[in-house]
């Protein structure tokens, strides 16, 4: 080959090899900018006909939104939740043990005193807000959320400390609902942890701190682990 033709030929060959080295190429079906702006919080592996799920936090320190990635046969897609969840973060996720139901709870930003309960009846592909609960105190954390037969559910909040002069008693607060979270009972106080009722939800397969972002290669590994090929 003449020298004048050798240089262009080598350049073409080098460019063809670029996707095989250096930065990993994304084949999830999600735009790279979506992955770059998302931080994982909870994740579920695919099980039978139930898709894999990743609950994410999208945005920045000033504004953020809870999102969900759902797997499908041809990749992954982003599910945007109702606008009323803007500036809230995931604090719980659970998937039905024997059905396609998925539950999530977000906590409002700032004071963090409100909890939104969201539900998907089809494995995470579509969501709707089921209800809202004002916490007993900003520092109260979710100790346990259980879903029972029908539309009955229970929520236990734990309060370990509260420096406010009018703070409620430290301990546990039990809330009950008979209509899937639309309305909740008054808080039932207990100094010790109440005995939990039977639970029909499974915990996430992976839990993250919701602060550590992933690079493209990290996202590829996570999504591949959650939905193995074949």
Q: Give the pLDDT confidence score for residue 229 in this predicted structure.
A: 60
**Distance between CA atoms of 96 and 207, rounded to whole angstroms?**
17
**Distance between CA atoms of 48 and 82, rounded to whole angstroms?**
28
Q: Both ends of the chain: CA-CA distance in Å?
A: 45
Q: Give the pLDDT confidence score for residue 208 in this predicted structure.
A: 95
Helix, strand, or coil (residue 224): helix
Q: Give the pLDDT confidence score for residue 221 in this predicted structure.
A: 94
pLDDT tens-digit series, residues 57-88: 998 777 889 999 999 888 899 998 999 999 99
Helix, strand, or coil (residue 207): strand
Q: Kindly report the pTM of this predicted structure.
A: 0.85
Q: Give the pLDDT confidence score for residue 230 in this predicted structure.
A: 52
Q: Give the pLDDT confidence score for residue 22 in this predicted structure.
A: 32
Question: In the chain, which stretches have pLDDT less than 50?
Answer: 1-25
Q: Give the pLDDT confidence score for residue 15 in this predicted structure.
A: 37
**Could you tell me which residues are beta bridge partners of residue 176?**
154
Q: Give the pLDDT confidence score for residue 159 in this predicted structure.
A: 96
Q: Give the pLDDT confidence score for residue 80 in this predicted structure.
A: 85
HSE, CB side, 13 Å, CA atoms: give it for residue 107: 18
Torsion of CA 57, 164, 116, 171, to 10 degrees: 100
Fold that domain 29-226 belongs to in CATH: Lipocalin (2.40.128)
pLDDT tens-digit series, residues 126-161: 999 999 999 999 999 999 999 988 789 999 999 999
Q: Give the pLDDT confidence score for residue 23 in this predicted structure.
A: 35
159, 140 Cβ separation under 8 angstroms = yes
């Amino acid at each position: 080959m003449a020298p004048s033709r050798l240089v262009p030929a080598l350049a073409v060959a080098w460019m063809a090899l670029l996707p095989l080295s250096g930065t990993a190429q994304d084949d999830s079906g999600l735009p790279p900018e979506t992955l770059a702006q998302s931080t994982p919080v909870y994740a579920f592996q695919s099980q039978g006909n139930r898709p894999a799920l990743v609950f994410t936090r999208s945005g920045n320190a000033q504004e953020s939104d809870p999102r969900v990635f759902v797997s499908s046969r041809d990749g992954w897609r982003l599910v945007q939740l109702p606008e009323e969840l803007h500036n809230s973060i995931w604090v719980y996720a659970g998937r039905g043990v024997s059905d396609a139901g998925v539950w999530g709870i977000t906590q409002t930003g700032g004071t963090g005193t409100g909890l939104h309960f969201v539900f998907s009846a089809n494995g995470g592909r579509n969501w709707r807000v089921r209800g809202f609960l004002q916490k007993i105190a900003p520092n109260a954390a979710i100790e346990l959320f259980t879903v029972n037969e029908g539309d009955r559910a229970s929520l236990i909040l734990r309060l370990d400390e509260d420096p406010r002069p009018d703070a409620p008693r430290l301990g546990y607060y039990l809330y009950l609902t008979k209509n899937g979270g639309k309305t909740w009972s008054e808080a039932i106080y207990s100094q010790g942890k109440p005995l939990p009722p039977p639970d029909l939800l499974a915990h996430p397969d992976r839990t993250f701190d919701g602060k550590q972002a992933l690079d493209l290669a990290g996202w590829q590994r996570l999504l591949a682990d959650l939905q193995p090929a074949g």
